Structure 1
Amino acid sequence: MIAIPLKTNTLESAIAPLFGKAKWFALIDNNRQVTFWHNELQSGREVVKYLKANNVERIVFQDIGGNPYLMLHNAGITCYHGGHGRILLKEALTFLEQNALIRVTPENMAEYVEKPHKHNKEEHKELHHCGHHHHEHSHGHRHAASHR
């Protein structure tokens, strides 16, 4: 089974940029049959638990946190970076079948995965980020974090 986070529950959907907050996931079986799962969990860690329980073996993502990535890796789920920009579900599946996607491993994860956080949400607001990682904000573009 393959899992891909999506913006909508259609075959024409683009990959959702944020793994844990994706509203939908395409679950593709070995016969290329697609079912859509509505993600109401809103937590990367909880999503990983769901995917593992549903026998997902491979996942394609654009942006994922360090902790969910390590959980996927430790669960034996193979991870692939889907690339940057707008990528459609059909394109991601074609790229995966053609072995054209980058397999993310602990050795190269620094290039494709956000660093794990060691502070909670309240501390996060006070710290103004640590200057070494990026965050996606609701207005659709990325900012380099900086100390203030």
Structure 2
Amino acid sequence: MIVFPVKTNKENASVSPLFGKAKYFAFYDGETVKIEANPYNKGSMIIDWFLSKGVDKIVIKEMGIKPFNKLKNTNIKVLYAGDDKVTTNEVIENFENNTLKLISEEELLIIVKNHKGAKAH
């Protein structure tokens, strides 16, 4: 199952650049998309939630250091949605076409550093 942060709980919502503070997450099991409200406000706690739901891939635009460190100790793979605006349907299409880039730990660390520099929170 894959998961990614979205801006709203509406059909074909845009992917949120936020990760830990995203209001909603879209879960895709290969057949259906289910959007759920984020029950947490911290990225590291969200990783545990994903693990309990059987998530094995996360699609991101940005990520902070705490969820990054938590992810390093899991088998969850991180895929990159890209810098441009992208919708739920586009993420699913790209996932099914195998065109989402698998992010290495080094690449993810660069994204984390850029996230820290771009956002004041």
TM-score grouping bracket, smaller chain normalisation: 0.7 to 0.9
Q: Deviations over 1:11-66 (max 9, x none)?
A: 22000111000100011113x21111100311001111100111101110111012
Q: Distance in 2 between matches of 1:52 and 1:16?
A: 20
Q: Deviations over 1:93-115 (max 9, x none)?
A: 11122222221121322332337
Determine which structure has more spread, i.e. the larger CA radius of gyration: 1
C-alpha change, 1:52 and 1:136, in structure 2 (3 Å) is same
Q: Which has the higher contact order (CA 8 A, sep 6+)?
A: 2
Structure (1 or 2) with the greater helix fraction = 2
Q: Distance in 2 between matches of 1:137 and 1:14?
A: 22
- Note the aligned Cα RMSD (angstroms): 2.1
Q: Distance in 1 between matches of 2:10 and 2:120?
A: 24
Q: Deviations over 1:70-124 (max 9, x none)?
A: 32232111101101131101111111222222211213223323379xxxxxxxx
Please list every run of 5 or more consecutive structure 1 residues that lacks an aligned counterpart in the other structure: 117-132, 139-148
DSSP 3-state at the match of 2:3: strand
- Name the structure 1 match of 2:27: 27
Residue 84, structure 1, aligned to residue 83, structure 2:
yes
Deviation at 1:8, TM superposition (A): 0.5
TM-score (norm 1): 0.73
Please list every run of 5 or more consecutive structure 2 residues that lacks an aligned counterpart in the other structure: none
C-alpha change, 1:53 and 1:92, in structure 2 (3 Å) is same
Q: Distance in 1 between matches of 2:101 and 2:19?
A: 17
Residue 135, structure 1, aligned to residue 108, structure 2:
no
Q: Kindly, what percent of the aligned residue pairs are identical?
A: 28
Q: How does 1:1-148 map to 2 (within 5 A)?
A: 1-30=1-30, 32-114=31-113, 133-136=116-119
- Answer yes or no: is the 8 Å Cα contact 1:81–1:112 preserved in 2: no
TM-score (norm 2): 0.88
Moved beyond 3 Å, runs of 4+: none
Q: Distance in 1 between matches of 2:28 and 2:7?
A: 16
